[in-house]
Structure 1
Amino acid sequence: MTVNEYQVTGMTCGHCEMSVREEVSEIAGVDGIQVSAKTGKLVVTSSQPIDDAAVLAAVDEAGYSAVRV
């Protein structure tokens, strides 16, 4: 299992979390997503490596910015 962590800026509520979760869940290979507006943390788990650019693009599509940590 692969676990990637990201710091997301701009999230303030549960709706923000849902938007990020929906976009990231569309990436092929993603098995699990944990996202917290309170901490700004996004954790993506997968059975195989996921391209960081795809995750960052998905977060951007949701209207937020992220960096890998």
Structure 2
Amino acid sequence: MTTITVEGMSCEHCEQTVEEAVCELSGVNGATADRESQQVEIDGDADIGDVVRVVEDAGYTASA
């Protein structure tokens, strides 16, 4: 399980957007975003740089 910080999530729709973006990556079995903690937990072995990129492409600020 890998956790990254995601800034800018403010609602349930934001969480869903981040989860869907991350789950599109090869090697990701699942993702759980939490706007309260501003984090997303990723189940799988996707490259962390790719995870940050897709989250940022979805409109949020991400850091590993």
Unaligned runs of 5+ in 2: none
- With normalisation by structure 1, the TM-score equals 0.86
4+ long deviations beyond 2 Å: none
For residues 18-29 of structure 1, the aligned pairs below 5 Å read 18-29=16-27
Give the equivalent residue in structure 2 for 1:66: 62
Distance 2:46 2:22 in 1: 11
The count of residues paired between Structure 1 and Structure 2 equals 64
The secondary structure found in structure 1 opposite 2:46 is coil
Superposition deviation, residue 29 in structure 1: 1.2
For residues 1-69 of structure 1, the aligned pairs below 5 Å read 3-46=1-44, 49-68=45-64
CA RMSD of aligned residues (A): 0.9
Superposition deviation, residue 30 in structure 1: 0.5
- With normalisation by structure 2, the TM-score equals 0.92
Which structure is larger by alpha-carbon Rg, 1 or 2?
1
